[in-house]
Structure 1
Amino acid sequence: MRLVSLALVLLAATASAQEAVNTGTGAILRGLDKLNAKVADVTIPNGGTASIGRVEVMLKECRYPEGNPSGDAYAYLTVREIGVAEPVFSGWMVASSPALNPMNHPRYDVWVMRCTTE
């Protein structure tokens, strides 16, 4: 299943590569704590880190097609539980298709909302 998801992400990235691609200054992510139903939006600059509950999210970069920093944004994220070296998730997440390459965690969900441009 993960291989199929990875193939779809690569196909989406290849299709997007044919368009002019811009790199945003960061990304706005949304986190959900499934245990207490708390939602939090965080803004992270490229190369930055933020905590959402007990997970730490690192943003390598956020990219988007020319003129559409929100709907077709995709970001490279590494997500770790605080105090655990092995990542829970590492890879590209697509804002318009969050289920394409989702983070699988029993308590938290994280997804990309859009890239920041300033």
Structure 2
Amino acid sequence: MTNYQTPDDLKAIPAFAALAPVEANAFLAFSHAVEREDGLIPPKYRELISLAVALTTQCAYCLDVHTVQAAKAGATREEVAEAALIAAAVRAGGTLGHALLAQRLFEQHRLRARDERAS
């Protein structure tokens, strides 16, 4: 399927937001945290953080928006690459963390099953 995701979809946001204005306004107000210029974290770093999150959540539209905004905020290609690789490392770390949880849950299940068979 070609053009499954396209930047033109972003143009539909106003019409989409009009379908559920209360929820849309709450979401848009929350998303403006990225755009703040009076926060302690400068705009360039806000966009690099947003870009890293977009990469880990695999949101193509977020990736589009925050890549452009990071460039406008003065981020370099090297900073974008570094943010991407940091995001990849953290995502891999999350996988390891969940693997440890899976091992513990597996062992707990195995022990419960053994105890149930013994009783």
The structure with higher relative contact order (CA 8 Å, sep 6+) is 1
Select the structure that is richer in helix. Answer: 2
Answer with 1 or 2: which has the greater Rg.
2
Select the structure that is richer in strand. Answer: 1
